Chain A
Amino acid sequence: MNLSRSSSSDLILDVDHVWKIYCRNLKRAMWYGLKDVGREIIGGGRDRSHHDLRSGEFFAISDASFQVRRGECLAMIGPNGAGKSTMLKMINGLIKPDSGSIKITGKIGALIELGTGFNPILSGRENIYINAAVLGIRKREVDGLMEKIVEFAELGHVINDPIKTYSSGMRVRLGFSIAANLRPELLLMDEVLAVGDVGFRMKCFTHLNELVKQGVSIVLVTHAVGMLQRVATRSVVFGQGKIVHDGDLETGCTIYEEMLGASDRVRAKKKEESGRIGEIGSVEVCNEGMEPQAEFETGETVRLRIQINAREKIKDARLIVSLCSPVHGVLSSVSSPYQGIYFDVDPPGRVITLKIPEIPFLIGAYHFNISLFGREKVDFYHRSSLRGVFRIVGPPTNADGYGINGITKLQHSWEING
């Protein structure tokens, strides 16, 4: 890692070769738990060698190392079960690593779940005191922050009513407002960005950016990668307990999207059967000059070379090609009949190329779903999903309102009137 420009005193979080072992079998997990308690009591807790897994155990985290510096906002992303939340729990000190160490400088504020510890019968105001006390804040400090918390949560009119009369959105707002107004040096957040209405979410992002500017470090776990660009400055991508990427956010999001695609691809493959009359064979994404290429810039020409195999002659075939993103689903679907194209396929097959000039999509991972039909709706031959994976790698997008952002590049122009 090249971090030479930051001094070591700026290091807030240092995760050093951390391993964590879990057990999925409930009965065994209980028994191991009892043994582990016993081992802790007699002082036998120590790094477990990486090979000594007990029956039924697996590595929830394998050899993870990363660092977070002051004023950095790190996003931990990855598919379900990849180990992100486990890592967050270890950073928060809720569970211990089985090997390796985690060093934290300064105070931690955790938002593992918003509003944990709210009592529904008590008023919002009483619950603010309780929640703040759980986070380690004194009453007199809370008194000073009370107005700010209530105002930020936009709950001034109901703050003396019992929490059970609040909507779930109101509870979330209150929980976020408490934790975010307390200014820890390291803020941990687990899936809390995807809540609340759009207006409040924007307010949260603004607030988090403000905290980062003031030197607060943030580690957040989320699946809502679309929103990450608003706050995160860096990403660590987890895949099956291992860190597969540590670096810039955009590459991280792309890798994550590809991982989602990959797991779908495995599923799709299992379904596939053989023995069709006609099927989609090899699929290649190529550049203008028909050379295979996996990375493009927005606005370049993408050519999709589709090999169609046939055992028997197919008359008046048509192709339907959908361009998809693992996160957003189908972005656009085109069919050959739209441009009046039907074609015959003689055994063993032929190649059809789809040209997409000036691809409008922005940074991300993309793929195609391809279906082969005859002239009629019922003349179905083959559908092949998650083919021709490619990435758009540039130019950079901007989520702060100074460039373009989203999925596609909209053709547009501005006019200043009046």
Chain B
Amino acid sequence: METEFEKSKPSGKGEQPIAVARRTPETSRDVNSDGTEASSQGSPNVTTYSAQSSIQNPSQLIRDIFVDFWLGRELAWRLFLRNIRGLYRQTLLGLFWAFLPPIANTAIWIFLRQANVFSMGDTQVDGTVYILTGMILWQAFIDAFQMPLAMFNKNRNLISKLNFPRESLLLVGVGEVLFDLLIRLLLLIPAFLIFEVPVHASVLYAPLAILGLVLIGASLGLLLMPIGSLYQDVGRFISMVLPFWMIITPIIYVPLTTFPGSLLNWVNPASPLLLLARDWLLIGTTDHLAIGLTFAAAAIPISLIALVVYRVSIPVLIERMTA
């Protein structure tokens, strides 16, 4: 079609445009140190969208992921504040809802133990504190595990209509998991006092194990997110197996040390770091250092893979949301 178009206007050089959405995927790009400001003239950012998989250039892809984490930090903080404020402005009991699940779960298991329904083994500290700590850590793990899919579903509208650093949603999600976890960990202060649990120096390393636990939970959840967002079966299946998963995780009992029961610790990704964190929080010494650190180390490549899967799958998922 022949088109005469000669309306090109002066390029408004006087006006330095303010940085707006800065999508820079798989191609030639020219992001400045802060990633957003365009250089005034000369080398403009060029973004190309094509059918090519961005994974064909893995180093660029990984770099893009981290750039987007950086660019998305302020958005993440805003969304985090929005969610927390929105949540507590509309509840009567506010933060109490963060405390409730581990207290309720602990109460149930303490009751069952006192009824001699099961035996815990030698916990070295008071059983109530042992179960409560386990419950808080377990809650953090499954919150992290369920976070990616929940985050995606909650923000479908935003994801399908705006192009922004989607990594920020993960920051928000992890932030919320850690926020809830911190509030719940406050429960341990009265528990330590009431049950006279001594505080060990190893409490200082415990955050490492806890972060590893959250990281591995979030990464595994992230790997499941693409399937889970397409097929609701996944979400249903997860909520069905969670109680069983909790039972095979040594929360309400001391881990099995004899073969084949000990094998469970190696196949259950929730176990090693939960055990390590709890030992560091309550006991001071641990038999789970090697396995815990192994899992913590494994969490790093797994999380990278999960981030790549998240990033490359989002355009496909948006297409299926709107097609």
Contacts and interface: CB of A to CB of B under 8 A. Distances in A.
Most buried by B among A40, A119, A214: A40
B47 A97 contact: no
A416 interface: no
Contact of A138 (B74, B82, B320): B74
A215 B10 CA distance: 6
Interface in B149-167: 157-158, 160-164
Most buried by A among B4, B163, B164, B318: B163
Given A1-B3, A116-B158, A234-B5, A214 B12 contact: yes
Given A37-B313, A41-B309, A213-B12, A46 B48 contact: no
A184 B161 contact: no
B44 interface: yes
B46 A2 contact: no
B320 A136 contact: no
Given A36-B316, A101-B49, A246-B3, A112 B10 contact: no
A139 interface: yes
B51 A96 contact: yes
Interface residues of A, number: 88
Interface stretch (A65-73, A149-157, A291-299, A329-337): A65-73
Interface stretch (B173-181, B195-203, B210-218, B224-232): B224-232
Contacts of A105: 44-47
A46 B20 contact: no
Contact of B162 (A42, A46, A110): A110
A70 B163 contact: no
B78 A184 contact: no
A45 B78 CA distance: 34
Contact of A94 (B44, B79, B85, B163): B163
A44 interface: yes
B9 A215 contact: yes
Interface stretch (B21-29, B185-193, B237-245, B254-262): B21-29
A22 interface: yes
Interface in A168-185: 182-185
A97 to B, nearest CB: 6
Nearest to B229: A33
B1 A216 contact: no
Interface stretch (A126-134, A392-400, A401-409): A126-134
Contact of B23 (A23, A69, A108): A108
Contacts of B122: none
A10 interface: yes
A233 to B, nearest CB: 5
Contacts of A24: 323
A92 interface: yes
A261 B286 CA distance: 79
Contacts of B38: 106-107, 185
B161 A122 contact: no
Contacts of A10: 8, 11
A141 interface: yes
Interface string B282-293: 000000000000
Interface stretch (B52-60, B130-138, B295-303): B52-60
B267 interface: no
B317 interface: yes
B47 A93 contact: yes
B75 A183 contact: no
B80 to A, nearest CB: 11
B89 interface: yes
Contacts of B36: 136, 138
Nearest to B49: A102
A58 to B, nearest CB: 10
Given A30-B320, A119-B82, A121-B89, A97 B17 contact: no
A90 interface: yes
A212 interface: yes
B23 to A, nearest CB: 5
A253 B317 CA distance: 34
A3 B7 CA distance: 10
A93 B49 contact: yes
A46 B55 CA distance: 11
A117 B226 contact: no
B46 A107 contact: no
Given A105-B44, A121-B89, A183-B15, A133 B75 contact: yes
Contacts of A117: 157-158, 162
Nearest to A234: B5
Given A40-B312, A130-B79, A134-B164, A108 B20 contact: yes
A32 B230 CA distance: 10
Interface string A86-125: 0001111111111111111111111011001101011000
Given A6-B6, A183-B18, 6 more contacts: A37-B230, A93-B25, A93-B315, A137-B20, A183-B15, A215-B13
Sorted from nearest, which 4 A-B pairs have the closest CB atoms?
A: A215-B12, A45-B53, A71-B9, A214-B12
